[in-house]
Structure 1
């Protein structure tokens, strides 16, 4: 724990940084690695991040607040448009935008589209992060770094830093934290010591349930699953040394066929989702959990403004 009861030290820096990149570029995994615990969901399926969750990194010399955003993409639905609006608004509000380019993939049109959009934002420092270096050879990483530099030149983007990292292997994650803190303005801590995120517990719980529901389903389903925690609270009449947290949540899909996929044969998939999610929630909150899940249909909710509002978008 860091004690700032006598005031923060001279030269202390604090501010906001945002990881951006095309879907599945390693943004959420990097956020979790820097914070030191799981606060944002990860998935091999693209476009899984929907809510902006702030992860907080506490250090002796600074406090780094990491903003996790959806991957920028060409929207096909009203939900997609709203997610993109969220990304653009965040870029203009943070101190540093870190663009993630996975080292095991070549830079493509999606990367160019994103950097070109980012070039329109004024007054925000930009750095480039070559992610997933554990999946690429040294020669490939070298080529990748040159490609990132070239993309910056072609789009009029000046990179304050270009740094290769592997969040999974832990390579250069500490160096990235040093670089980010060094780019923050001097100022007091923005959040109390010990806080790891400012996201409500209900939001984190809903995201962990959705992550468990995404695992192993068909490629088209991630976009169609939304989770709402309807009730969450400690069960009454339990002794203080044996608490139990009751959570009642609904998983919303768009069609009856999708409902069948999520529930599975005789409910087997939904039970597996509950088992996985409950373990993750208990690890996050440190309390035994009773998790009650139901699957409901909200027809074409991604395109319906009324349904989007109901589901929190």
Structure 2
């Protein structure tokens, strides 16, 4: 399909771009910057991303489907193994693979391991992206770029700061120019391939990660059990925060219920902004012992890799 620009026809390009890398390198932050708003959750906690998310970025002459993946890491339980499978599975059938490297952390064996998988990918275009340029001095960024460029055979490299918007447009232009000619894979009014329930659950989990410390964040999962749209236009959500131990439940609830109220209040603001509607949120906290080691529970929560 062709579009007309300046009297000349040019091909419409569309395809899939996978963001891969170690935990906390800025994949979700870059996706949000490309999307132009908050759609993927972020936090300083490693392995914040547990679901593969596809966000649609429409530009003149192109539709870029950016795939955010869980951070690749050495797994300690069944959940970690499944998240690695989710991330590595995206390398099999995309048009562009972007390997993200944190400018503030020395390139290590974990990055080398991820890069080997990128090198083996059949993706026609492979891009090295050094992130967080706003918090590293130019000398460090340059050294990081040089070290990372030796990890695999890359077609191009780019330095970005997603938080400051530095080179985000350049990233979009670069990857879109290397997409194949093709149709729009998603309609113009579809911006993400997750349901409202999944997005609500993720926003709640983000607030748990941001408000809790120590071992609690990795033990937390969230389900959005019900959503009901009222006649006056507002939405009512019921959700459950899962933890693995009674002590964690007490921490999430907090003294007098203050912590769970704060989590719900902060999550509701994001949900209302996303949906453009007033929302009510009912939060429960439940103990599900050892859920991270239970394949059936991982599958029920939607964290399993596609077969």
- Under TM normalisation by the shorter chain, which class is it? over 0.9
Give the equivalent residue in structure 2 for 1:255: 245
SS at match of 1:146: helix
CA distance in 1, matches of 2:211, 2:238: 23
The match for 2:295 among 302, 305, 308 is: 305
Is this contact kept in 1: 2:93–2:122, CA < 8 A?
Answer: no
Q: How does 1:269-284 map to 2 (within 5 A)?
A: 269-284=259-274
Number of positions where the alignment pairs a residue of Structure 1 with one of Structure 2: 297
Listed as ranges, the gaps of 5+ residues in structure 2 are 4-8
Instruction: Name the residue aligned to 1:207.
Output: 202
Q: Report what 1:105 is aligned to.
A: 105
What corresponds to 2:30 in structure 1? 30
**Aligned equivalents of 2:301 and 2:218: distance in 1?**
13
The question of whether the paired residues in 2 share the 8 Å contact of 1:278 and 1:291 is answered with yes
Taking the aligned partners of 1:58 and 1:122, their CA distance within structure 2 comes to 25
3-state SS, counterpart of residue 119 of structure 1: helix
Report whether the alignment pairs 1:288 with 2:278: yes
Question: 1:205 deviation in Å?
Answer: 0.8
Give structure 1 stretches of 5+ with no counterpart.
152-156
Q: Is 1:220 aligned with 2:215?
A: yes
Which of structure 1's runs of 4+ aligned residues deviate more than 3 A?
none
Counterpart in the other structure of 2:132: 132
Find out whether 1:193 has 2:188 as its counterpart. Answer: yes
Q: Is the partner of 2:181 in helix, strand or coil? A: coil
Contact kept, 8 Å, 1:106 with 1:144, in 2: the verdict is yes
* Cα 1:128–1:219 shift into 2, 3 Å: farther
SS in 2 for 1:106: coil
Structural mapping, 1:146-157, within 5 Å? 146-151=146-151, 157=152
- TM-score after normalising by structure 1: 0.92
Q: CA deviation at 1:75?
A: 1.0
Task: Give the corresponding residue for 1:40.
Answer: 40
Superposed displacement of residue 124, structure 1: 4.4
Task: Supply the distance in 2 between the matched residues of 1:190 and 1:74 (Cα, whole angstroms).
Answer: 34
Instruction: Tell me the SS of whatever aligns to 1:39.
Output: coil
Task: Compute the TM-score of the two structures, normalised by the length of structure 2.
Answer: 0.93
Look up the match of 1:55.
Answer: 55
Distance 1:144 1:49 in 2: 24
